[in-house]
Amino acid sequence: MREYLLTLCITAAVTYLLTGPVRKFAIVAGAMPEIRARDVHREPTPRLGGIAMFFGLCAGLLVADHLTNLNEVFAKSNEPRALLSGAALIWLIGVLDDKFEIDALIKLGGQMIAAGVMVMQGLTILWLPIPGVGNVALTQWQGTLLTVALVVITINAVNFVDGLDGLAAGMVCIAAAAFFLYAYRIWYSYGIESAAPATLFAAILMGMCLGFLPHNMHPARIFMGDSGSMLIGLVLSAGAISITGQVDPDALALFTGSEKAAVHQTVPVYIPLLLPLTIIAVPAADLVLAIVRRTWRGQSPFAADRGHLHHRLLEIGHSHSRAVLIMYFWSGLIGFGALAYSVNSASMWIVLGVVFLSAVGLALLLLPRFRPRAPRWAERFLPPRYRRRPVPQVPDAGVPAGGVVRECHGATALREQELVPDRGRAADGQ
């Protein structure tokens, strides 16, 4: 665990320290697009934050290669090199898009090529655990197609959710944390070395996101751009592919008693192949809704709009920061809920806890519709948005001093207010 934490900290430190110089470089390079109709920020903000995140990835892999225990991952597996190759390619495509805004189909082709590069180097799905059936071996073509599909879907799911300051980095960090705990449990609790690469990928991914978040929280000083969002999406998918397609449920059967029980233990892993990721189910759902919405309107699935989940949170009255925190909450609930279920699926307390937290999440979603009416003595303990706003009193020249005037405040009922003559102004002759 200490070596994983060291790798995480080195990755976060390199990403954090490089983000400042990268921001200056992005400004000089002109990677500051004009404000678009779908954007929520008000000032042009530099992109290319993915440059710092990529070098953080490289630093994390370099440090892990020189550590005593993690060095075995590089000696016994080609997956770290496969990840680095695919990440370099997808990062280069993202940098070009941040600067020149290349066509969506070209980006899609680049994503498929990056996934193919990883498949050629051994990072692919070899078998698929299916509940009630057991372990199903895949042919080479089936494994390749499924791997490419998972990589492309995950990359675009993360890319689509990158619409608010700190949203994509925070949600992927939460997903990586849940995935790290699961992979670490498979690796050290069951002693299955095939889970070691996925554990390393999750630790490095957490470092990349944590190092970038201080620069990207609202109000963001820099955006990660496609160079960052596609990169972290690829790293996350690489971890899911590694632990799903490389960890044999037959090995888990030695600890769980049967192959079907072993497949049941991989619930948080085979579900990611279908959603595509349980731990990022929120952006995955956003991706599906966006494709359906745009196709229904006769638009391209890659045409940007303001119909994403985070845009809807802003429309119903949530502030920027609260919308991000709500998305964090749901991502953590789904990710860590799946993790808890994998540890003890028979516990009713886990189910009740998830149901209770889901109710809390629904209450948070509807929060803007509820405006508490607190007594005046308690207003000083409430946020300013919940305090009564004083109505400006403007004397009407047509109403004599001491008279009565009716005024309307917004859409509220009319109320009477007695006007008191301004003695000070009368005395000064004003």
Delimit the domains of the chain by residue range: 2-304
pLDDT at 263 over 60: no
What are the distances in angstroms from CA 157 to CA 307, 352, 429?
14, 29, 69
For 125-161, the pLDDT digits (tens) are 887 766 666 667 788 888 899 899 989 988 988 887 7
Q: Please, are residues 127 and 139 in contact by the beta-carbon 8 Å criterion? A: no
What are the distances in angstroms from CA 245 to CA 126, 150, 238, 336?
5, 12, 10, 22
In the structure encoding, which two tokens stand for residue 43, read together?
A: 């000032």
Spatial CA neighbour of 73 closest among 248, 235, 176, 201: 201
Q: What's the pLDDT at 429?
A: 41
226 is in an annotated binding site: yes
The residues facing 418 across adjacent strands are 404
Q: Which of 200-204, 206-210, 333-337 has the lowest average pLDDT?
A: 333-337
375 CB burial (10 A radius; 0-12, 13-18, 19+): exposed
How many residues are given for the chain? 430
What are the distances in angstroms from CA 64 to CA 59, 85, 302, 374?
9, 17, 37, 56
**CA triple 106-111-113, angle to 5 deg:** 95
Q: Please, are residues 122 and 86 in contact by the beta-carbon 8 Å criterion? A: no
CA dist., res. 414 & res. 422, Å (int): 24
Q: Which of 72-81, 134-143, 269-278 has the lowest average pLDDT?
A: 269-278
Can you tell me the mean pLDDT for 239-257? 65
CB atoms under 10 Å from CB of 196, counted, come to 25
344 is in an annotated binding site: no
Query: What's phi and psi for 292, nearest 5 deg?
Result: -65, -45
Q: From the centroid of its chain, how far is CA 139?
A: 33
Note the pTM of the prediction, 2 decimals.
Answer: 0.74
**% of the chain at pLDDT higher than 70:** 64
Q: What is the mean pLDDT of the chain?
A: 76
